[in-house]
Amino acid sequence: MDRYPLVLIVDDTPSGRKALESLLVNQGYELALAGSGEEALALDERLKPDLILLDVMMPGMDGFDVCRSLRARPGLAEMPVVMVTALDDAESRLAGLESGADDFISKPFNRAELRARVRTITRLNRYHALLEEREKLRQLSQQVIAVQEQERRNLAVELHDEIGQSLTGLKMLVGQARNQASDPSSAGRLDLALGAIGDLIARMRDLSLNLRPGMLDDFGLHPALAWLAGRFREQSGLQLDCNFDESGDRRFPPAMETAAFRIAQEALTNIARHAGASRVRLHLAETPGQLALEIEDDGQGFDLEALRQPGRVSTGLSGMQERARMAGGALDLQSTPGRGTRLTATFPLVVEKEGTQT
C-alpha cells in the first residue's frame, strides 16, 4: 500500500474522539475527526476513508442515521463502518445491522481488541480494492465502446463503398443484358434478378446506415436524429414527435454527436422492445453551456431499483451512461411503472468569449 489507511473517527464529544484518536495515533493510520453525523457525511464524500468508527448516540443525526445515509449513496455504500456504542443490548445491535453497520465495539472498549479490529479491516482494504476494480471496469468499457464505434464506422464504409459499388456495377450489367434479351423468358428471369439486386442494395444501404449513418459525420446530429426518427416511425408504427430547438446545420464536437446519436438509438430500440408506448417524444435543446437530449415515452415504465440489484447486468442502459460520461456529459433516467420513461442526456458546451459555443 502506498499510503496509510485513513480512519475517520465520528463522535460528538471531544473526550470520545480523543480516546479513539490516542489509541490509533502512531499506529500506521491517517486519522480524520468529525464532531457530528452531518460533518462525517460531508467528509466521507470527499475523503473516502478506509474505515469509519462511528459513535451511535449523537445529537442531530445519530449513528444509525449516518449509516443509513451512507449506504444509500452510490460510491459510499460499501465503506466499512464500525459502530462504537455503549448500547450493548440485542435490540440496538439489530438496529445497527439494519442500518448497515459491519461491526460493533462496545464502550468502554478493550484497547487491544479495538486496535486488532481496526487493523484487520484496514488490512483487508476491500473498500478501496472495490473502488479500483470499478474504475478499471469503467475504463475497460470505455475502450470497448471506442473500439466498437471505430469498427462500426469501418464496416459501414466498407459495405457502402466496396460492396455497394460492386452491386451497382452488377445491376448495370444485368440491366444491359435485360435490354438485349430477345426472348421473353430470359427477359423475365433478368427482371427478377434486377429486382433481387435492387432489394439487396436497399438492405445493404440500410445495414450500413444502421452501423454508422454517414450523415452523422457529414451533416451532424440533427439530420442523423431526423433520419433515426423517420426509421423508428416506419418500423414501429408509433407516433414520434421530434423537436429540435436549433437550426439543422449546427455542429457539436464529434464525440458528443456520436454519444447523443447512440443514446437516442438505444433509447428508441428500448421503447420499441419494452415500453408498449403509444406516443414518443424526442427533444434536442441547446441552452448556453449545455446540449440536452430528452426522450420520453408514455409506456409501461419499469422499476429502476430492480435493475440495480446485484447480478443484473443491463448493457443497454449502462452503455448509454458510459457514452454520456465519455463525452463529458451525464445521463438521467426517470421511470415509473405504469407511467412511462424519460431519459435525459446532458452534455456541457464550452461557451467562448465572443458568444459562440463549441
Ligand X SMILES: Nc1ncnc2c1ncn2[C@@H]1O[C@H](COP(=O)(O)OP(=O)(O)OP(=O)(O)O)[C@@H](O)[C@H]1O
Where on the chain is the footprint of ligand X (CB under 6 A)?
Answer: 270-271, 273-275, 297, 299-302, 307, 314-317, 341
Among 270, 321, 341, 346, binds Mg ion (CB under 5 A): 270
Phi, psi of 303 (to 5 degrees): -90, 105
Shortest CB 302 distance to Mg ion, Å:
11
Query: Which does residue 315 bind out of Mg ion, ligand X, none, counting CB within 5 to 8 angstroms by kind?
Result: ligand X
- Which residues have CB under 8 Å from 57's CB, separation 6+? 63, 85, 86, 87
265 touches Mg ion (CB under 5 A):
no
Binding mask 66-85 for Mg ion (x = CB under 5 A): --------------------
Residue with cell 454527436: 257
What is the crossing angle of helices 164-180 and 184-211, to 10°?
Answer: 170
Q: What angle do CA 286, 288, 293 make, to 5 degrees?
A: 25
Query: Which does residue 339 bind out of ligand X, Mg ion, none, counting CB within 5 to 8 angstroms by kind?
Result: none
Shortest CB 300 distance to ligand X, Å:
6
Indicate the residue among 275 and 291 with the shorter CB distance to Mg ion: 275
Stretch that binds Mg ion, among 95-103, 113-121, 316-324, 337-345 (CB under 5 A): 316-324
Indicate the residue among 64 and 302 with the shorter CB distance to ligand X: 302
Indicate the residue among 19 and 229 with the shorter CB distance to Mg ion: 229
Cα–Cα distance, 49 to 44 (Å, whole number): 6
Cα–Cα distance, 176 to 110 (Å, whole number): 97
Stretch that binds Mg ion, among 126-134, 158-166, 185-193, 262-270 (CB under 5 A): 262-270
* Total residue count of the chain as it appears in this document: 358
Residue 9: DSSP 8-state:
E
Query: Which does residue 314 bind out of Mg ion, ligand X, none, counting CB within 5 to 8 angstroms by kind?
Result: ligand X
Residue nearest to Mg ion (CB): 316
The C-alpha cell that represents 176 in the structure block: 444491359
Among 316, 330, 337, 350, binds Mg ion (CB under 5 A): 316
Measured distance between the N- and C-terminal CA atoms of the chain, rounded to whole angstroms: 42
Indicate the residue among 165 and 210 with the shorter CB distance to ligand X: 210
- Which residues have CB under 8 Å from 258's CB, separation 6+? 149, 216, 323, 327
CB contact at 8 A, 259 and 323: yes
Shortest CB 51 distance to ligand X, Å:
35
Phi, psi of 343 (to 5 degrees): -120, 130
Query: Which does residue 275 bind out of ligand X, Mg ion, none, counting CB within 5 to 8 angstroms by kind?
Result: ligand X
Query: Which does residue 301 bind out of ligand X, Mg ion, none, counting CB within 5 to 8 angstroms by kind?
Result: ligand X
Indicate the residue among 156 and 271 with the shorter CB distance to ligand X: 271
Cα–Cα distance, 329 to 345 (Å, whole number): 7
